[in-house]
Amino acid sequence: MPLINVREALRKAMDEEMERDPSVILMGEEVAQYNGAYKVSQGLLEKYGPERVIDTPISEEGFTGIGIGASMVGLRPIIEWMTCNFSIQAMDQVINNAAKMKYMSGGQFSIPVVFRGPNGPAEYLAAQHSQALQSIYTHVPGLKVCAPSTPYDAKGLLKTAIRDDNPVIFLEAELMYSHKGEVPDEEYLIPFGQAAKRTEGKDVTVVGFSQTMRVVEEAVEGLSTQGIEVDLIDLRTLRPLDEEAVYSSVKKTNRLVVVDESWPVASVGSWLSWKVSKDCFDWLDAPTELVSMEDIPMPYNHTLELATQPSVEKIQAAVKKVLYI
Amino acid sequence: MAEEVVMLALSPTMESGTIVKWHKKEGDSIETGQILCEVETDKATMEYESVNEGTLLKIMVKEGEEASVGQTIAIAGEEGEDISAFADKSAEQPADLSAEEPVEVAEVKEEISEEKKEETVSVGEKLPKGVKASPLARKLALEKSVDLKAVTGSGPGGRIIRKDIETARAKPEGFVTVPEGTTKAVSVGTATVSAGIVRVQAQKTEDEEIPVSQKRRVIAQRLSESKFTAPHYYLTTVVAVDDLVMARKQLNKKREDKISLNAFLIKLTAEALRRNPMVNSSFRGDTIIKFGRADIALAVAQPDGLITPVVRDCWNRGIIDIDEELKSLIEKALSNKLKPVEYSDSTFTISNLGSFGIHEFTAIVNPPNSAILAVGEIKREPVADEDDTVVFKSNMHITLSCDHRVVDGAIGARFLKDLKEFMESPIKALY
């Protein structure tokens, strides 16, 4: 199977869908002439022309709103946010229009739009440009949220997102674009709401998603050399959330560590922890541990920046805590 | 962080303990596992091992004083730590699980609370308070009938976790290994004589250890409680049931669905209770409840225990009606489908072992009742009639067990006399 990186996988997904369906368009800052700020859209302008691959001014609220409007009248826009930090500018459009239009129009309008871009910290980007906003978007009813961690999932989920008739927030990560993985040439789709089991283990359930899975997998490998077998779940989509995959694992291992790189208060991770505490109460042998971003703005200093994020050490410590060792 | 040192349950049944001696004094450093004090429990004087480390900052319960399980007996922490937040803790008593409400309220209220209490016990969800255990450990303890109070927790702060329940199962306390030979003697095999000693070479039968089910636990608890707290006495009489058998035959002649003898027994018992209300009562310590209803339970054997479904309101119901309900209750009992409301809160109980060929027996009063009727088989027996001629009668031996705190001998005897009359001549129940 060909080994490609996340950047190429996303590009292939968009390319295939644009070729399949002429109503799919791509719009965003520097997606056309410059081939994308992170080169995800490389070659698409050349192939599909300026009517379908459109450069926008630096105005997130404007082009996000245009994308929503276009989706109401028959197009399937992919809106690229240069980073999710900038999407904060467009949050009124996303939360008030995209998420609610179907509901408030009594089902008359569908909003088949995808908002995609890098989310979460990269390096040396400081407080305003290192934010992991999955919890904010997952909070909103009416939105679907994808957070893949591999090239295979990135491609399969993005194709599903483009075909979905609802607004989808598609979370990528700057450091993830160059991560490589096997992706078949033939077409496939990955349905929403299906988590992936990365390793089978009987001792403890660890749940992660998106770019943090790299760190989680390293932690899990280290634990396996110490004889600790982790049942590792990659959520892949945050809304819909595959609770059943987590529940069945927790019922087997009786303990859970959730890794979510957003801030801990009112986050995807704390939501999942509550769900488990409620629905798996009688199966828990230890309180669930949450490994998250520290509850502070991201420091610029690199040592502090690393110390603020979930790390191999933090995850391993959490696993040992729920195992009482 | 300063922490409270609480009284632990040092025996499975301990509810409070008296501090006999403090081995550490305030200001002493303490380590996990060191003896803090000696506690006199309901069984013996036990050593209290510390689960804390640091300094014993304050002793809250002095030598010779008593503390309930869960009550703070001392404060431990770092030397010099401020413990003013704990100052009033010693006065706080943990909520008493078993405390009965003082009975001052109307009878109806009392009955309701009794019903609630019974239901809680029967569904077996009552968990010991003041015991720290993970949800999983609690569930496993219930399933495996492990007493959490008797388990030492190995988790943080003494939390009982799955591992602790598993090891508690592996080494049950008080389990006595049957010495070699005892089992051998039971099963018979080839006997050989050597040096004057009979050696029995038998197939070895393994002892089987069965976990106590929640139902068995409730049966054990309730019946022990009854037998140990209610002073029982027993009254036996012989009843000639020829007329009753005849009455039943006549009723059943035109029926496909035969009315059981138990339905007759229940109805006639209800009538005897109506005339002797003290037998239809419950002892509550400061008061006695005289029930305003005759809800009669019948003991039904199940494969895994015993249950007493209740036929309600027997004063106001006919025999056919009673029989119908009884049949449906027994069917549910045998398929384990009875709801708590269907087997709790009776006012009197009947246990009939006649079908097993039991001639007569004594039963244990089924709380909250004050009496239970034990019914033996119907047997043809020679009896001397008025002219001293021997005649044969269909006799039934019935025994009333009474709680003497409520039912005095003469009261029990009068009830039994009435019941005997009704059974010998059912028409009298209508008088």
| Residue A260: CATH number of its domain | 3.40.50.920
- Beta-carbon separation of A285 and B137 below 8 A: yes
Neighbours of A287 (CB within 10 A): 16
Is B163 in Cβ contact with A283 (below 8 Å)?
no
| B102 CB within 8 Å of a chain A CB | no
Residue of A nearest to B142 (CA): A282
For A98, the 3-state DSSP assignment is helix
Cβ neighbors of A81 (< 8 A, separation 6 or more) are A28, A60, A64, A87, A90, A115, A116, A117
Closest residue of chain A to B164, computed from CA coordinates: A285
User: Which residues of A are known catalytic residues?
Assistant: 60, 129
| Cβ proximity of A245 and A232 under 8 Å | no
Question: Do A282 and B134 lie within an 8 Å CB cutoff?
Answer: no
Cβ neighbors of A252 (< 8 A, separation 6 or more) are A202, A205, A231
**Candidates B136, B142, B164, partner chain A, best to mutate (most A CBs within 10 A):** B136
Q: Each residue of A26-74: pLDDT tens digit?
A: 999 999 999 999 999 999 999 999 999 999 999 999 999 999 999 999 9
Last residue of a domain, one of A160, A182, A204: A182
- What lies within 8 Å, CB to CB, of A60 at 6+ separation is A81, A86, A87, A89, A90
Amino acid A78 reads: I
Q: Do B369 and B412 touch, CB atoms closer than 8 A?
A: no
Decide if B408 is catalytic: yes
Beta-carbon contacts below 8 Å between A and B: 27
Subunit contact B135:A286, Cβ cutoff 8 A: no
Instruction: Name the nearest CA neighbour of B305 among B222, B397, B398.
Output: B222
Q: Model confidence over B229-258: pLDDT tens digits?
A: 999 999 999 999 999 999 899 889 888 888
Encoding tokens for residue A146? 């994808």
DSSP B332-382: HHHTT---HHHHS--SEEEEE-GGGT---------TT-SEEEEEEEEEEEE
The last residue of a domain, from among A153, A182, A211: A182
3-class secondary-structure state, position A256: strand
Q: State the nearest Cα–Cα gap between A11 and chain B, in angstroms.
A: 47
pLDDT score at B201:
53
Q: Give B80-114 pLDDT, tens digit per residue.
A: 888 877 765 444 444 443 333 333 333 444 444 44
* A236 plus A310 within the same structural domain: yes
The whole-angstrom separation of Cα A88 and Cα A145 is: 16
Q: Cβ distance B38 to B45 under 8 Å? A: yes
Tokens of A272: 């999942």
Distance from CA of B62 to the nearest CA of A (A): 35
A101 in Cβ contact with A72 (< 8 Å): yes
| HSE-CB for B335 with a 13 A CA cutoff | 6
Tokens 């904010």 belong to A136
Q: Is B397 one of the annotated active-site residues of the chain?
A: no
Of B136, B154, B156, the CB nearest to A283: B136
Residue range B3-91 forms a domain whose CATH class is mainly beta
**Residue B236 forms beta bridges with which residues?**
B399
Structural domain boundaries, residue A239: 196-322
The confidence score (pLDDT) of residue B199 equals 52
CB contact under 8 A, A284 and B134: yes
Chosen for mutation from A285, A288, A320, A325 (greatest number of chain B CBs closer than 10 Å) is: A285
- A28 and A173 assigned to the same domain: yes
Q: Is B155 on the interface with A (CB under 8 A)?
A: yes
CA-based nearest residue in chain A for residue B163: A285
Task: For chain A, list residues whose CB is within 8 angstroms of any CB belonging to chain B.
Answer: 254, 281-286, 324
Instruction: State whether A54 and A111 are in the same domain.
Output: yes
Same domain, A166 and A212: no
Is A203 a domain residue? yes
**Tokens 């269907």, residue?**
B342
Quote the pLDDT of residue A315: 98
DSSP state of A219: H
Give the number of domains in chain A. 2
Partners of A205 on chain B (C-beta within 8 Å) are none
Q: What is the mean pLDDT of chain B?
A: 81
Q: Does A154 lie in the same domain as A16? A: yes
ipTM: 0.74
Q: Does A207 reside within a domain?
A: yes
Q: Do A43 and A132 have their domain in common?
A: yes
CB A113 within 8 A of CB A63: no
CATH homologous superfamily for the domain B227-430: Chloramphenicol acetyltransferase-like domain (3.30.559.10)
Residues near B334 by beta carbon (within 8 Å), at least 6 away in sequence = B300, B302
Side-chain-facing half-sphere of B80: CA atoms under 13 Å = 0
Of B136, B155, B156, the CB nearest to A282: B136
CB A257 within 8 Å of CB A206: yes
Q: Which of A213, A209, A71, A62 is nearest to A145 (CA)?
A: A209
List A231's β-bridge partners, or say none: A205
Q: Residue-wise pLDDT tens for chain A (325 aa)? A: 899 999 999 999 999 999 999 999 999 999 999 999 999 999 999 999 999 999 999 999 999 999 999 999 999 999 999 999 999 999 999 999 999 999 999 999 999 999 999 999 999 999 999 999 999 999 999 999 999 999 999 999 999 999 999 999 999 999 999 999 999 999 999 999 999 999 999 999 999 999 999 999 999 999 999 999 999 999 999 999 999 999 999 999 999 999 999 999 999 999 999 999 999 999 999 999 999 999 999 999 999 999 999 999 999 999 999 999 9
* Phi, psi of B275, deg, nearest 5: -85, -15
Least Cα separation, residue A266 to chain B (angstroms): 24
**Residues A64 and A117 both lie in one domain:** yes
